[in-house]
Chain A
């Protein structure tokens, strides 16, 4: 069995990204076992052929032994669901006997060996990377980055490392339970999916905080980690070898944030353009943009976020409508039309 098991979590709309992650990770660590956790169902006409994918194993949401899975799924939006399954997936890997587990978000690309993480997991049960490791110096940087971390969580859960031991399993169980019950994008309510939970980790456990600027470089820490190339072609972040870059929301707000914190340098845009080329090369045939198998009611009507919130917060509704995706009379969809203030015409 490989020493390190790595997993990522997606719906099909992120399959292109996961393929890029897989290609870049396998280049550095061909011996790691890569797992794909999939929270989606294929659209009509799309064939997902596991044997042609670069993942060693694929685990679907229905394989994760999640209690009351259909109702639970309905209560989550796309990002919430793909995040919430990380807890059950981590426990599954530990149960299968994985000794060291590394999670990487699908929109990460690996540029250098992650041996240091493996070494750290020899000495620590949990490894986390903070969004920022140096204070910002500008007001806008404080607002964009430090205050954002106060809202979204100190540690970026696009990455974590975990060792299978007492402490690691204790963390995994705790995190799994929290994510099954409270993995929501609800910043006013003190939650941001899986990340705010991990603000508690240094209090409950003894994690290793990996501060090397080469790990988990993204728009939110670029201001203190400029990307450079040395004469021998090594890519550096904040002067250290770049290990992995997190291309968050590259085609939307992420690009503007890169621009804001690139300080006039262009190297990071070379990475971004390269990443776009990789995505284009790994695009998924037959998949509509923003497709998600759990986005619609049975009749094809999109499920609104407030409808999901109403359902997950109201046990009576869950009991009355055991299949919340159904359409027609006496369904949750019909109930929403009649009862929610923003109901459909």
Chain B
């Protein structure tokens, strides 16, 4: 106990509570232990001025260095943090760099398999009559059938690939084509090792209606029975959780010339479909025997992965569709995988109108509305936006927003707007950006974006886009449509400086920005309509 118990001491003790760790204090500072004084009393009186830390989780010197206002008012930094600093989002210690956290958390994908396992369905596979279902869905009158494969249920999970599938799932029936979608009944973070056609289970959805589970054997038999009645196509949107060998068997049934593989991402090149070495840095897909793959958590898995992919492409030689020319060129150069032809099918395009951007609504003196949109994760550069918002915390020139399906940041200076983009709400993000009058979207993507819906959404909503000058599609795609609305920077410090100096307002100026809309494509449906061979087959049917 202190020699003199005064009110200031009692107040401070009550405020800091468990943030002060007396055991840590006497362990870390043996002179305090030897002096046999009250540890908290020492910290409140002298310790903080001597740069001592009150616990493992609070860095006195860092807090004072980062917060000049606390330094100026000579307040005990821990008391300030407990009283108001934590609620204001001030940091108690230097954060571990996000790159280090990514590296520390990286794991070989095989080790994540257990996290993905789910109990088998009660009904089990083949509990319904697939042939009957096909008849019920009008297969007798159909002009054709598309068997579409991806990694999960597009009607349940939201995401770029799922939305593309939703779009074409709506489009094909209008063309008289039955759209049968199959995903692994047991999702996996890797390719499946299951090669037995009687055991591999798929979850089927037909024209948007969930049917249930079938074995690969059953699906293959039904597909074979339809041959000759009308043309069938096999469209592979994603192979995650699938066995390429079993997909090869399906391709042999429909015919290699009717097999189409999408490269929405780079899973055909590496189990890390974003090509992020150790989940931290874009790797450019070097050879699997390279030093980089040797030390990457995906490297071991990649050897077998690439062998199986190569066998698949060699056997099938499919048509390949990519969402951008950049993605296609990269995939061709780095993968060198056998394919019969290749096309670019952009999933959507921006049509700009003459509406001004949102800033004119509030005038020049309004705080600039700055947003992060989409999934708040490292790959999308959330950590950079988070750092920017933290640095400009309390700056009246800016107001920071997070537009996402669920709140990620608990920070008081970040406003969250819930946005769910799905098949019925494809323009949900565009509308939300416009409604929140967002002036600037920061999209510091760490990976190579093959398309970037979020960049398109930001610009269509009339916001200016600040992005990293990376290898992806963002800058080329947006520059082609709205060059005045995008700013690409090399380094994070440049980004922070643009906001510190206020020069970001030049980019965000209303005269540079126009509101527009996104026009979504029909993806594989558009491709088949543009393909002479497919048109002919459909006409004959």
Per the bound structure, the CA–CA distance linking A242 and B297 in Å amounts to: 19
Chain A residues near B287 (CB-CB < 8 A) = 232-233
CB distance from B154 to the nearest CB of A (A): 34
B100 interfacial by beta-carbon distance below 8 Å: yes
Chain A residues near B294 (CB-CB < 8 A) = 111, 274
Chain B residues near A234 (CB-CB < 8 A) = 286, 290-292
A48 interfacial by beta-carbon distance below 8 Å: no
Per the bound structure, the CA–CA distance linking A326 and B397 in Å amounts to: 77
B293 interfacial by beta-carbon distance below 8 Å: yes
Q: Which residue of the partner chain, among A235, A266, A271, contacts B100 with CB atoms under 8 Å?
A: A266
Residue ID in chain B nearest A235 by CB atoms: B291
Q: Are B295 and A271 in contact, with the CB atoms below 8 A?
A: yes
Q: Which residue of the partner chain, among A111, A233, A273, contacts B283 with CB atoms under 8 Å?
A: A233
Per the bound structure, the CA–CA distance linking A266 and B277 in Å amounts to: 12
Per the bound structure, the CA–CA distance linking A235 and B286 in Å amounts to: 11
Per the 8 Å Cβ criterion, residues 277-293 of B in contact with A are 277-278, 280-281, 283-284, 286-287, 290-293
* Given A231-B284, A233-B286, A233-B287: A270 and B278 interface contact (C-beta under 8 Å): yes
Per the bound structure, the CA–CA distance linking A149 and B44 in Å amounts to: 42
B103 interfacial by beta-carbon distance below 8 Å: yes
Residue ID in chain B nearest A27 by CB atoms: B294
Chain A residues near B100 (CB-CB < 8 A) = 266, 269
Per the bound structure, the CA–CA distance linking A112 and B290 in Å amounts to: 10
Q: Are A273 and B106 in contact, with the CB atoms below 8 A?
A: yes
Per the bound structure, the CA–CA distance linking A271 and B286 in Å amounts to: 17
A57 interfacial by beta-carbon distance below 8 Å: no
Q: How many residues of B contact A (CB 8 A)?
A: 23
Per the 8 Å Cβ criterion, residues 264-309 of A in contact with B are 264, 266-267, 269-271, 273-274, 277
CB distance from A130 to the nearest CB of B (A): 24
Q: Are B290 and A266 in contact, with the CB atoms below 8 A?
A: no
CB distance from A277 to the nearest CB of B (A): 7
Per the bound structure, the CA–CA distance linking A88 and B68 in Å amounts to: 61
Q: How many residues of A contact B (CB 8 A)?
A: 18
A204 interfacial by beta-carbon distance below 8 Å: no
Chain A residues near B280 (CB-CB < 8 A) = 266, 270
* Given A232-B287, A277-B297: A266 and B281 interface contact (C-beta under 8 Å): yes
Quick one: CB contact mask for A214-231 with B, threshold 8 Å, 1 for yes?
000000000000000101
Chain A residues near B293 (CB-CB < 8 A) = 233
Q: Are A229 and B103 in contact, with the CB atoms below 8 A?
A: no
Q: Are A267 and B291 in contact, with the CB atoms below 8 A?
A: no
Per the bound structure, the CA–CA distance linking A111 and B292 in Å amounts to: 10
Per the bound structure, the CA–CA distance linking A189 and B111 in Å amounts to: 50
Chain B residues near A267 (CB-CB < 8 A) = 281
Chain B residues near A274 (CB-CB < 8 A) = 278, 294-297
CB distance from A265 to the nearest CB of B (A): 9
Chain B residues near A235 (CB-CB < 8 A) = 291-292, 295
Q: Which residue of the partner chain, among A112, A233, A264, contacts B292 with CB atoms under 8 Å?
A: A233
Per the 8 Å Cβ criterion, residues 249-308 of B in contact with A are 277-278, 280-281, 283-284, 286-287, 290-297
Chain A residues near B277 (CB-CB < 8 A) = 229, 270
Chain A residues near B95 (CB-CB < 8 A) = none
Quick one: CB contact mask for B493-527 with A, threshold 8 Å, 1 for yes?
00000000000000000000000000000000000
Q: Are B286 and A232 in contact, with the CB atoms below 8 A?
A: yes
Q: Are A266 and B297 in contact, with the CB atoms below 8 A?
A: no
Per the bound structure, the CA–CA distance linking A274 and B290 in Å amounts to: 14
Per the bound structure, the CA–CA distance linking A232 and B293 in Å amounts to: 10
CB distance from A83 to the nearest CB of B (A): 28
CB distance from B305 to the nearest CB of A (A): 16
Chain B residues near A112 (CB-CB < 8 A) = 291
CB distance from A198 to the nearest CB of B (A): 30
Per the bound structure, the CA–CA distance linking A233 and B293 in Å amounts to: 7
Q: Are B103 and A273 in contact, with the CB atoms below 8 A?
A: yes
B366 interfacial by beta-carbon distance below 8 Å: no
Chain A residues near B104 (CB-CB < 8 A) = 273
Per the bound structure, the CA–CA distance linking A229 and B291 in Å amounts to: 8
B363 interfacial by beta-carbon distance below 8 Å: no
Chain A residues near B286 (CB-CB < 8 A) = 231-234
Q: Are B278 and A273 in contact, with the CB atoms below 8 A?
A: yes
Q: What are 14 A-B contacts defined by CB distance under 8 Å?
A: A111-B291, A111-B294, A229-B291, A232-B286, A232-B287, A234-B286, A234-B290, A235-B295, A266-B99, A267-B281, A273-B103, A273-B106, A273-B278, A274-B297
7 new A-B contacts, CB < 8 A, other than A232-B286, A233-B293, A270-B277, are A229-B277, A229-B283, A232-B284, A233-B284, A233-B287, A234-B291, A270-B281
A-side interface residues toward B, CB under 8 Å?
111-112, 229, 231-235, 242, 264, 266-267, 269-271, 273-274, 277
Give the top 7 A-B pairs by smallest Cβ distance, nearest first: A233-B286, A233-B290, A233-B292, A266-B99, A235-B291, A274-B295, A231-B284
